């Protein structure tokens, strides 16, 4: 209501006639015609020429100009695939899958044949594959076994402006690969105009700009601060729907929960309104099943408006045609290292001005548009950062450290990063790996560390898997790790909350959420992996099938590493093994349902979905898989452990006598340990450097 609506309505009506013609054309065009209509098509030959003449180029173009879907095909059409695959990396899994699907349609082949994709735990490629879309994490892993990337004739690093952690690491590695391999083409694409930095980094390489075809978008700021952005977005979307001319709506929300609520409330309110035109409300976020994801690209039935409610995945990775109105909450979810809890936490933050402008631009693809910003102009100017802080500067780097170390890069401070991570961050990540036994005092990989690299898992999980072999319970831990790698197993449908909770309780193993997972899987296996069994017990069928696939893939890696998969049948041993991997994330009982973190002294709570919650059994010591922060700090996925185990498995932190009674004493000990490790690593490094010089 705060937004000057009359003005916007007139504007929309005025523009309607012009866009009708365009969208009518879009509906009728064949895929081939659509390809030729993209801005990139007009400069196809120039682009291929500059690629021919240079090893590395930076390519800048507005979102939707055809960079991701066309460039791979152009390279293929001009013969590059005769020498190797065309690889195209994406920071997001959803984008990799959806774009591969689109390109396979354009090339009229089956997805997985000439055009395929690979994301963690899902390889949809074959011997035939010429064009491979993948997450940047996958290419990073491939560089472990194929350091020169010999399978590829060209690599497109897409969405470089996102500055994802893996992309930033790949930058440093690929820069070297290209200097070793004259025949490899590297194309770095960005949707924003800040390409100079990329060009500098790769040695002043050419920047190619795809001339855009965008229409003006008019921004409307909120006049007062918005208290509840979900509510404001709902109101705004309904207002557009009821009042404005044709054109689809795109709403940006920070995450899945907000998206679900927004969709639901819009639906409810429209139902309550008599005579409201139908609206096709479509959510999109990374965990949404892919058949539902595909819906956002389909044209709604004639005359029905689409309202897509998305995370920042729709900012630049995916282009939905026909958007004329953008509603921007002004928030996104970011993974940020939180020193208080000593790990990364996914939290909601205001977007940067660069994000806000990208979001606005989505309304100007097929015609002039409008952008309703649910924040004030002052918020925008004075409170938002100009651009995002790259992930490498704000998250835990344990996995990256492990990977780079195993590539033989000893001194990470010397690695050529575009923006180096803060030294503290690097040291904390190394400390974490040292605690897990992956690094020795000199900062070199241990045997355990080398094995951990083989698994596409977080360090604590791969450590748990490898340790379980020694403890004789690897069969059980393999299942638990697989279950932890798949989101939401349990299903809690609206209106059937009690029934589904009751079914869920039957599975619960009172002392452990991890064992509860194990129990579910074993029961499912007993049912013959039955789909009906899943639906009867309110368990996601697809998630369980995925677990089975993940389990198989991890088992293949274990086999190749000669790690035995054996069952011990004793769940106390399984709990002890869980304790061995998570001893650094332990808590002690303080009051009912209330715990304190053993290392930080921070109060934390059992999550209500935990098997230990409200079951009348309150163990003195527990370890947890992760902390999530909402109104309180909640520990998610918890297992009860024996206090003696903590002392035995994490001697650097705990002793039974607890000679280090106070928190400050423990903190001091931790700091001094860290310093010792740093000092030893520094000395080792100096020695190494001297040896190199001699
Ligand atoms: P860019 O990478 O420059 O942002 P893309 O190559 O992703 O551009 O998109 C070009 C066109 O292809 C857009 O008009 C977009 O709508 C269309 N497109 C991309 N992916 C899909 C998909 N999965 N389904 C339908 N259309 C798609
Ligand atoms: Mg793209």
Question: By alpha-carbon position, which residue is closest to atom 15 of ligand 1?
Answer: 319
- Helix extents (H) in 81-162: 93-106, 136-145
Residue 660 has pLDDT above 70, yes or no: no
Residue 1 has pLDDT above 50, yes or no: no
How many angstroms separate the alpha carbon of residue 278 from the centre of ligand 1? 26
pLDDT tens, position by position, 118-131:
999 999 999 999 99
Instruction: Supply the pTM of this predicted model.
Output: 0.86
Question: By alpha-carbon position, which residue is closest to atom 25 of ligand 1?
Answer: 297
Q: What gap in Å lies between CA 291 and CA 465, rounded to an integer? A: 33
Beta strand ranges found along 317-397 (DSSP E) = 323-328, 331-338, 343-350, 369-373
How many angstroms separate the alpha carbon of residue 68 from the centre of ligand 2? 4
Average pLDDT over the chain, rounded to an integer: 88
ipTM over 0.95: yes
Residue 281 pairs with which residues in a beta bridge?
Answer: 307
What pLDDT is recorded for position 9? 53
**Ligand approaching nearest to the C-alpha of 65:** 1
Average pLDDT over residues 620-637: 86
620 Cβ contact partners less than 8 Å away, ≥ 6 residues apart: 588, 589, 643
What pLDDT is recorded for position 274? 85
What pLDDT is recorded for position 23? 54
Return the ∠ at Cα 462 (arms to 457 and 468), rounded to 5°.
150
Higher pLDDT, 429 or 152: 152
Residue 17 has pLDDT above 80, yes or no: no
Question: By alpha-carbon position, which residue is closest to atom 22 of ligand 1?
Answer: 102
Cα distances (angstroms) measured from residue 562 to each of 141, 302, 557, 559: 20, 59, 9, 5
Question: What's the order of all strands across the beta sheet hosting 152-157?
Answer: 122-124, 115-119, 131-135, 85-90, 152-157, 185-190, 56-60, 207-209
What pLDDT is recorded for position 369? 94
Q: What is the 3-state secondary structure (H, E, C) of 527-555?
A: CCCCHHHHHHCCECHHHHHHHHHHHHHHH
How many angstroms separate the alpha carbon of residue 276 from the centre of ligand 1? 31
pLDDT tens, position by position, 162-176:
999 999 999 999 999
Write out residues with Cβ below 6 Å of ligand 1: 38, 61, 63-70, 98-99, 101-102, 297, 319, 321
Average pLDDT over residues 666-682: 76
**Residues of the chain above pLDDT 90, percent:** 61
By DSSP bridging, strand 122-124 and strand 207-209 are unpaired
Neighbours of ion ligand 2 (CB under 5 A): 67-68
How many angstroms separate the alpha carbon of residue 66 from the centre of ligand 2? 7
Question: By alpha-carbon position, which residue is closest to atom 10 of ligand 1?
Answer: 66
How many angstroms separate the alpha carbon of residue 558 from the centre of ligand 2? 36
pLDDT tens, position by position, 538-568:
999 989 999 999 999 999 999 999 999 999 9
**Of 36-40, 41-45, 208-212, 342-346, minimum mean pLDDT range:** 342-346
Residue positions counted in the chain: 694
Residue 111 pairs with which residues in a beta bridge?
Answer: 115
- Residue 90 in tokens: 């994406």
**Cα distance from N-terminal residue to C-terminal residue, the chain:** 73
Q: Which of 67, 68, 69 to mutate to test the pocket of ligand 1 (most atoms within 8 A of CB)?
A: 69
**Ligand approaching nearest to the C-alpha of 210:** 1
**Of 254-268, 321-335, 598-612, minimum mean pLDDT range:** 598-612
What pLDDT is recorded for position 5? 45
């Amino acid at each position: 209501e705060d937004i000057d609506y009359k003005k916007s309505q007139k504007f929309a009506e005025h523009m309607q006639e012009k866009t009708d013609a365009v969208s009518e054309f879009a509906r009728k065009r064949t895929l081939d015609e659509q390809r030729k209509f993209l801005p990139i098509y007009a400069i196809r030959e120039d682009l291929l020429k500059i690629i021919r003449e240079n090893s590395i180029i930076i390519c800048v173009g507005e979102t939707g100009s055809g960079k991701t879907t066309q460039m791979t095909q152009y390279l293929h059409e001009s013969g590059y695939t005769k020498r190797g695959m065309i690889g195209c990396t994406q920071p997001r899994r959803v984008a990799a899958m959806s774009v591969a699907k689109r390109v396979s349609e354009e090339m009229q082949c089956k997805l997985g044949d000439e055009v395929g994709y690979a994301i963690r735990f899902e390889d949809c490629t074959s011997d035939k594959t010429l064009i491979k879309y993948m997450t940047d994490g996958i290419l990073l892993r491939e560089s472990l076994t194929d350091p020169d990337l010999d399978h590829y004739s060209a690599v497109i690093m897409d969405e470089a402006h996102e500055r994802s952690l893996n992309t930033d690491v790949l930058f440093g590695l690929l820069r070297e690969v290209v200097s070793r391999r004259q025949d490899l083409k590297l194309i770095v694409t960005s949707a924003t105009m800040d390409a100079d930095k990329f060009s500098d980094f790769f040695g002043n390489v050419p920047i190619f700009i795809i001339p855009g075809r965008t229409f003006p978008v008019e921004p409307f700021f909120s006049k007062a601060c918005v208290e509840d952005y979900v509510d404001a977005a709902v109101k705004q979307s309904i207002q557009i729907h009821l009042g404005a001319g044709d054109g689809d709506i795109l709403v940006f929300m920070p995450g899945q929960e907000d998206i679900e609520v927004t969709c639901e409330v819009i639906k409810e309110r429209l139902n309550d309104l008599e005579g409201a035109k139908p609206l096709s409300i479509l959510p999109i976020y990374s965990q949404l099943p892919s058949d539902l994801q595909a819906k956002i690209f389909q044209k709604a039935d004639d005359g029905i408006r689409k309202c897509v409610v998305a995370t920042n995945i729709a900012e630049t990775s995916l282009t939905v045609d026909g958007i004329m109105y953008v509603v921007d909450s002004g928030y996104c979810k970011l993974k940020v290292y939180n020193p208080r809890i000593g790990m990364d936490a996914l939290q909601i933050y205001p977007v940067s001005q660069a994000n806000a402008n990208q979001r606005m631009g989505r309304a100007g693809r097929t015609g002039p548009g409008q952008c309703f910003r649910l924040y004030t102009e002052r918020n925008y100017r004075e409170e938002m950062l100009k651009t995002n802080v790259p992930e490498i500067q704000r998250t835990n780097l344990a996995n990256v450290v492990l990977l780079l170390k195993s590539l033989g890069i000893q001194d990470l401070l010397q690695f050529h990063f575009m923006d180096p991570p803060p030294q503290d961050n690097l040291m904390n990540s190394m400390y974490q790996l040292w605690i897990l036994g992956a690094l020795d005092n000199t900062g070199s990989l241990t045997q355990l560390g080398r094995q951990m690299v083989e698994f596409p898992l977080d360090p604590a999980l791969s450590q748990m898997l490898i340790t379980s072999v020694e403890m004789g319970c690897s069969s059980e831990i393999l299942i638990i790790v697989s279950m932890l790698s798949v989101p939401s197993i349990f299903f809690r449908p609206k209106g059937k909350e009690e029934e589904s909770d009751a079914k869920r309780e039957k599975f619960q193993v009172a002392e452990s959420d991890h064992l509860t997972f194990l129990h579910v899987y074993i029961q499912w296996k007993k049912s013959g992996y039955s789909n009906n069994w899943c639906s009867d017990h309110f368990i996601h069928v697809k998630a369980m099938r995925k677990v089975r696939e993940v389990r198989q893939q991890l088992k293949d890696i274990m086999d190749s590493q000669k790690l035995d998969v054996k069952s011990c049948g004793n769940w106390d041993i399984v709990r002890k093994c869980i304790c061995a991997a998570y001893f650094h994330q332990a808590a002690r009982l303080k009051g009912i349902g209330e715990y304190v973190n053993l290392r930080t002294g921070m109060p934390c709570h059992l999550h209500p979905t935990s098997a230990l919650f409200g079951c009348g059994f309150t163990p003195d010591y527990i370890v947890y898989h992760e902390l999530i922060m909402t109104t309180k700090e909640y520990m998610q996925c918890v297992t009860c452990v024996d206090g003696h185990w903590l002392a035995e498995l994490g001697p650097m932190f705990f002793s039974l006598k607890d000679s280090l009674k106070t928190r400050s004493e423990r903190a001091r000990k931790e700091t001094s340990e860290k310093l010792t490790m740093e000092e030893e690593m520094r000395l080792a490094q100096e020695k190494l450097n001297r040896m190199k010089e001699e």
